[in-house]
Amino acid sequence: MEKHKQENFHCEDFLSDFDFWTVDVADKLARDSDISGGLTESHWKVIMYVRDHFMKYEKGPAVVKVVKDCGISFKELCDLFPCGLVRGAYKVAGLPRPQGCI
């Protein structure tokens, strides 16, 4: 993991290569994103949804999609990913850093 850090990460956070993502990588990313206590089933539901969306549309889903399609409230999403949708869920799901004012 550590030795791949340089080439696969944009600096210290987002994964630069979507295909480099594995469950272990997700665990590591989760620790970087203030998720204590490991990834639960609820986390995985969001993570897999985000990954699926990215594979289809080459961009992360809007927060309204995540909340509606995963059947959670925004508050629950924030509790699961304290760093928010982008720095939390997108990041753990192995998405590259999105562009724009982010």
Asked if 85 is part of the footprint of another protein (rule: CB under 8 A), the reply reads yes
Whole-angstrom CA distances from 45 to 7, 18, 27, 80, 93 are: 28, 18, 14, 11, 11
CB 66 within 8 A of CB 95: no
Nearer to another protein, 4 or 59 (CB): 59
Contact residue for another protein among 17, 31, 62, 82 (CB under 8 A): 62
Instruction: Give the residue with the Cβ less far from another protein, 26 or 67.
Output: 67
Q: Which is nearer to another protein, 41 or 102 (CB)?
A: 102
Q: Which of 23, 65, 79, 82 binds another protein (CB under 8 A)?
A: 65
In the set 11, 24, 37, 56, which binds another protein (CB under 8 A)?
11
In sequence order, which residues have a C-beta less than 8 Å from that of residue 100 and are 6 or more positions away? none
Q: Which residues are registered as beta bridge partners of 68?
A: none
Catalytic residue positions? 101
